[in-house]
A and B are shown apart, each in its own frame.
Chain A
């Protein structure tokens, strides 16, 4: 009576998949194609984008964003500049901070490690809106941060209303240039709608406050990843290095960091993907201001579509952002291509060990699963 392979069950298989296929198809796959059409059409937001009055305009909207002198390209370039500095600031700092926190919390002699780990991780699970509201208060002109700074005789800026570029300010301090009269060759040379002076502004003070907030929020998540990796560090290797006479710092740089390499690369990759998408903080705190210095592609796309009702341009920006993130992740994969095999072998060894230690129900085992999940999700 039994079939040859009792697990071959096409009817049950497809039935089990149906909810997923319907929902993801309807709200993920179909929207992408629909938006792709809108981005090459002249739809004005009224009626159906598939009705007869809507025309195909080719790459006109992409052209306005990339190749035609005008406000559209200026805004888009500003958003790219802002996000570039944002990513450049947030990713390295949050990675180093996460590693530092993990190393501290991993000290064996420490009392209350669980408490501190919880405290550092907690902001990661709280809504970005709630945290943004708190930071609006902390970084207000007369807020807690400026009060704290004034105790040291420092007069803090009016954070979220300050559009001055950080590099401009630093250059002014060290006498490289004067912000009131920028050097002519910087101010007069224009590349892609912005002067070199604008390109080299660095993040604005307002953007820096958002950067501090995001670093503070996300470091805890990445700390957990580093913590899991640190707990996998084979003690024998560390001992061998110690026998060879290596001191603490040498052991950290030559044993621990190389062991953490796959985790560091993962954290940087996830960081880059996440930071390019920054949106919530701009929506809640600055709406792209002051002087468009916190404008990001994600927020600009939203603003074009829902405030200016220019859906085609908004969709075009979204696709360009997608392209940027895609290219960056591919670039990172290409840079890491040789080391994947090593990481793979290491992961297999770890999994074998975890299985011996009692399977995925141990926290270390769980972390191993989570890591492979993320790795595979990115590949």
Chain B
């Protein structure tokens, strides 16, 4: 933790009155930020009438796992599996392709490299939401609509990821690669056995970014399929509000579904928290 370094100015006394104000603010904001998740958790184990009549009570009365049982009878497990498949493929491909491209742009010299980089920057400035219809048009023309390929392929390279890897590779001292080259290693071998192992922190960042990006992606999955067997969690859960799964306004079901979808995110978040910091700043364009 870098913020444990004491940079407090000399003679800057923290009075107890000030501490009280800060703690009071902190408690208020902490409640605002934590309560919605607690209410979600509790409601997931309520009956619907209990949820509607006592939205603020923190003890389910009666306690029931009916929402869980109901979800298992539906396509929910399939959506979960689809999300896992898509996220896994996207993440593995993204890590590989982004680091390859980032390495070429940072380290290999060839004609046209700068042009490619300028184009990459231009592409990064295109707001994602305006690409929904265009992407559908291409998927449709290629005959990929309603396939797993349509869910996965368009996501396997991410311009921002390439950019992060390029920046990282530029910081690695070239002497190490030169040593490998003198030992007779070609560019592929150098990349695979020498450069990639050194890039571990950046690779973890890309992994986190692409996990978060593909697990939470909604827009792309809306335009890539209309077959409920190919829905991912985001798409499937979005259909819950319009009464998919016969849920109507069955709050325990929607809360339980949202909860189950959030658990993997929470696990990854807790395990790799410090890598999220960097990812957040890059992915901040999303609404």
Contacts and interface: CB of A to CB of B under 8 A. Distances in A.
Contacts of B116: 17, 21
B242 to A, nearest CB: 8
Contact of A8 (B6, B109, B186, B266): B109
Nearest to A135: B36
Contacts of B141: 34, 48-49
B167 to A, nearest CB: 6
B55 A142 contact: yes
Contact of A9 (B110, B234, B242, B262): B110
A196 interface: no
Nearest to B208: A125
Contact of B234 (A123, A129, A314): A129
A374 B282 contact: yes
Contacts of A32: 126, 131, 134
A6 B181 contact: yes
Contacts of B241: 132-133, 136, 284-285
A93 B261 CA distance: 29
Contact of A147 (B55, B121, B126): B55
Interface stretch (A53-61, A63-71, A178-186, A221-229): A221-229
A24 B159 contact: yes
A16 B128 contact: no
Given A20-B97, A277-B127, A298-B129, A31 B134 contact: yes
Nearest to A320: B130
A74 B166 CA distance: 46
Given A24-B123, A283-B238, A121 B276 contact: yes
B interface, over-half SS: helix
B287 A31 contact: no
Given A231-B3, A283-B222, A373-B164, A367 B281 contact: yes
Interface in B109-166: 109-113, 116, 120-121, 123-138, 141, 153-154, 156-157, 159-160, 162-164
Contacts of A16: 100-101, 103-104, 108, 187, 191
Contacts of A376: 121, 163
Interface stretch (A197-205, A340-348, A355-363): A355-363
Nearest to A50: B141
A114 B4 CA distance: 10
Interface in B237-273: 237-238, 240-242, 249, 251, 254-255, 257-259, 261-262, 265-266, 269, 273
A339 interface: no
A240 B93 CA distance: 52
B22 A107 contact: yes
Given A110-B22, A122-B269, A325 B160 contact: no
Contacts, number: 359
B92 interface: no
Given A129-B237, A133-B258, A325-B127, A9 B108 contact: yes
B217 to A, nearest CB: 9
Interface stretch (A164-172, A187-195, A267-275): A267-275
A302 interface: yes
A137 B137 contact: no
Contacts of A7: 107-109
Interface string A303-320: 001100001001100110
Interface in A207-227: 214, 216, 218, 220-222, 224-225, 227
A19 interface: yes
Contact of B137 (A8, A231, A298, A311): A311
Contacts of A364: 2
A76 to B, nearest CB: 15
A144 interface: yes
Interface in A134-148: 134-138, 140, 142-144, 147-148
A224 B274 CA distance: 11
A73 B11 CA distance: 63
Contacts of B69: none
B7 to A, nearest CB: 5
A110 B261 CA distance: 33
A331 interface: no
Interface of A: 5-10, 12-14, 16-17, 19-21, 23-24, 26-32, 34-35, 38, 48-49, 100-101, 104, 106-110, 113-114, 116, 118-138, 140, 142-144, 147-148, 214, 216, 218, 220-222, 224-225, 227-228, 231, 233, 235, 238-239, 242, 270, 273-281, 283-285, 287, 298, 301-302, 305-306, 311, 314-315, 318-319, 321-322, 325-326, 329, 359-364, 366-367, 369-374, 376-379
The 8 nearest A-B residue pairs measured at CB:
A31-B134, A16-B104, A370-B281, A13-B110, A35-B134, A130-B258, A12-B187, A10-B110
Given A144-B39, A228-B281, A277-B129, 13 more contacts: A6-B181, A13-B110, A20-B98, A20-B101, A20-B157, A23-B156, A24-B123, A100-B25, A113-B3, A128-B216, A222-B284, A277-B130, A279-B287
Interface of B: 1-3, 6-12, 14, 19, 22-23, 25-26, 29-30, 32-34, 36-37, 39-40, 43, 51-53, 55-56, 93, 96-98, 100-101, 103-105, 107-113, 116, 120-121, 123-138, 141, 153-154, 156-157, 159-160, 162-164, 167-168, 171, 178, 181, 186-188, 191, 201, 212, 215-216, 218-219, 222-223, 233-234, 237-238, 240-242, 249, 251, 254-255, 257-259, 261-262, 265-266, 269, 273-274, 276-278, 280-282, 284-287
10 contacts: A9-B108, A9-B110, A14-B112, A20-B162, A24-B157, A125-B212, A125-B265, A137-B254, A231-B7, A366-B274
